Amino acid sequence: MNEYIPRYQGTVTKYVFVESPEMTPQDLAVRAYEISEGAMIKETCFGLQVTGTAYEVEKIIGALRELDPDHIFVKDRGFPPGDPRRCRANLGGARPGYFGHEFEISLIRHVSYGLHALPLRDEQSVPHPPSPGPETRLGIDKLKQLVEAQEP
Amino acid sequence: MAKVFIYPATSLILSDLVARFGHTPLSAAQSIREHIQTAGLESPPLQISPEDPKKGLKYAAVEVPSGVRGRMSLYGPMIEDAEAGIIIHDADLAFGCMGCARTNELIIFLLKKRDIPVLELNYPKTDSEGAEFVAAIRDFLKGLGRSK
C-alpha cells in the first residue's frame, strides 16, 4: 500500500446548478471569476464547481445565489474537481452521482415554482406536500388470479 | 441552526433547501470529504479504511455484508449527530449505482428510531406539489428554530 497524501486539504467543494430560462452556466462562471479571490472555479454543463476555503466558497455562492435565487441550487461535493478516482476522464463515462443529479434536475422546475410562490403564500396555511401513501401489499385474491392466469 | 439529516443523502434538492432556510444539511458529501482529506494509506476510491466497517458494526451485525457496514460508518455518526431528518420516500436514485437498498432501509429505521422530528415526503411531480413541498420544508425547518 502506498502513502496517501490528500489534494486540496482543508478545502470545500460545492456544486452550483442553474436551471433558469434567463441564466446560463457561462453567465454564472463569469460572475464567479469576477468575485473569486483564488478559489478554483470549474464551469460545467449544468453550472459550476467551486473549490476553496469554506469562507470563500460561501461568499461566492452567496453572491451567485442573488443572481437568480429561485433557479440556482447548491450542494456539497466530497471530491475536488478532477480527482482521478471520480473524474469521468478516468472512468470512461458519467460518474454514478450524475444519474441522481439528472433525475432531480428533471423535477427542479417544480421546486423553483414553489420557491417563487412561497412569498405569495399565506403564512398560516397548512401545506399538504406529496407524501407517501399507505404501503400497498399484494392481496390474496390478486395472487390467486395471477397464479390461475399462468400459461400452461 | 439545526443539523438536518437528509435522505437521499446525496439529494441536491434537500441539500439546497435545508441550507437555503438557514440550517445545516448532513449529506454524504461531508463524510466522504472527511475521509478523502485525511492522510493515511491509499485506499481507493473513498479512502474507506479497515477501521470503518468496524465502526459500522455499531449499526449492523457482522453477518451483514461489509458494504452495508462500510456505508453505515459514513451515515451512522451523522444520524446520531442529527437534530432532525427529512426523508423522500420515492427516491429510486438512492438504489443502484448510488447506494444500497438494505442500507437505505436501515438509515430510515435509525432515523425514525431516534426521538427527533422527521418530515416524510415524496418528490413533487407538478408545480402545485412543488409549492406544497417547499412550504412544508420551510415550515418544518422554521419549527426546528422555534423548538431550540
- Range of lowest pLDDT (A4-13, A46-55, A60-69, B90-99): B90-99
Q: Which letter, b or e, does each residue of A119-139 get, where b requires 16 or more Cβ atoms within 10 Å of its Cβ?
A: eeeeeeeebebbeeeeeeeee
| Domain presence at residue B148 | no
Sketch out chain A's domains with CATH numbers. 12-120 (3.30.70)
Mean pLDDT, to the nearest integer, of A119-140?
A: 88
So what's the pLDDT on residue B48?
A: 84
So what's the pLDDT on residue A152?
A: 65
Mean pLDDT (chain A) is 91
Say yes or no to pLDDT of A23 above 90: yes
| Domain presence at residue B138 | yes
| Domain presence at residue B79 | yes
> Which of A1, A76, A107 shows the shortest C-beta gap to B15?
A76
| Domain presence at residue B92 | yes
Helix (H) or strand (E) holding A47: strand A47-52
Judge: A78–B11 Cβ closer than 8 Å, yes or no.
no
Q: Are strands B24-26 and B3-7 parallel, antiparallel or unpaired?
A: parallel
Q: How far apart are CA A7 and CA B18, in angstroms?
A: 29
Say yes or no to pLDDT of A50 above 80: yes
Say yes or no to pLDDT of A143 above 60: yes
B50 contact A CB<8A: no
Domain that holds residue B48: 3-143
Q: Mutate which of A95, A110, A112, A136 to disrupt the B interface (most B C-beta within 10 Å)?
A: A110
Domains identified in chain B, total number: 1
Interface of B with A in 81-140 (CB under 8 A): 89-90, 92-94, 96-98, 120-127, 129-139
- Backbone conformation region of residue B64, classed left if phi is above 0, alpha if psi is from -120 to 50, else beta: beta
| Residues B136/A129, Cβ–Cβ less than 8 Å | yes
Helix (H) or strand (E) holding A77: strand A72-77
A148: closest CA of chain B, how far (Å)? 32
So what's the pLDDT on residue A2?
A: 87
Say yes or no to pLDDT of A122 above 70: yes
| Domain presence at residue B19 | yes
> Would you give the end-to-end CA distance of chain A in angstroms?
58
| Residues A35/A60, Cβ–Cβ less than 8 Å | yes
| Domain presence at residue B71 | yes
| Residues A75/A20, Cβ–Cβ less than 8 Å | no
Distances (CA, A) of A61 to A14, A26, B19, B85: 9, 15, 12, 24
Q: Mutate which of A51, A113, A123, A125 to disrupt the B interface (most B C-beta within 10 Å)?
A: A113
| Residues B86/B140, Cβ–Cβ less than 8 Å | yes
Mean pLDDT, to the nearest integer, of B112-127?
A: 95
Mean pLDDT, to the nearest integer, of B47-64?
A: 88
B63 contact A CB<8A: no
Dihedral sign of CA atoms A91, B71, B78, A106 in order? positive
B13 contact A CB<8A: yes
Specify burial of residue B31 (Cβ count, 10 A radius: 0-12, 13-18, 19+). Answer: buried
Say yes or no to pLDDT of B24 above 80: yes
Residues in chain A closer than 8 A to B122 (CB atoms): 129-132
Residue A66 banded pLDDT, cuts 50, 70, 90 = very high
Question: Which tops the pLDDT comparison, A47 or B43?
Answer: A47
Q: How far apart are CA A88 and CA A69, in angstroms?
A: 30
Nearest to B126 by CA among A112, A31, A147, A134: A112
B37: closest CA of chain A, how far (Å)? 5
So what's the pLDDT on residue B72?
A: 92
Dihedral sign of CA atoms A119, A121, A122, A123 in order? negative
- Cα–chain center distance at A95: 14
Residues in chain B closer than 8 A to A10 (CB atoms): 37
Question: Which tops the pLDDT comparison, B73 or A133?
Answer: B73
Say yes or no to pLDDT of B146 above 70: no
Read off the CATH number of the domain in which B137 is found.
3.40.50
pLDDT, tens only, A92-116: 777 778 888 999 999 999 999 999 9
Distances (CA, A) of B34 to A11, B29, B87: 10, 9, 23
So what's the pLDDT on residue A116?
A: 96
B10 contact A CB<8A: yes
Residue A76 banded pLDDT, cuts 50, 70, 90 = very high
Amino acid at B41: L
Say yes or no to pLDDT of B112 above 80: yes
Helix (H) or strand (E) holding B26: strand B24-26
Mean pLDDT, to the nearest integer, of A44-51?
A: 94
Q: Which residue is it, cell 444520524? A: B79
So what's the pLDDT on residue A93?
A: 77
Phi, psi at A73, each rounded to 5°: -125, 145
Judge: B27–A75 Cβ closer than 8 Å, yes or no.
yes
> Which of A8, A77, A130 shows the shortest C-beta gap to B124?
A130
Judge: B12–A127 Cβ closer than 8 Å, yes or no.
no
So what's the pLDDT on residue B128?
A: 95
| Domain presence at residue B82 | yes
Q: Mutate which of B4, B90, B132, B137 to disrupt the A interface (most A C-beta within 10 Å)?
A: B132
Tell me which chain B residue has its CA closest to the CA of residue A69: B20
So what's the pLDDT on residue B50?
A: 82
Percent of chain B with pLDDT over 70: 96
Q: How far apart are CA B30 and CA A134, in angstroms?
A: 33
Percent of chain B with pLDDT over 90: 70
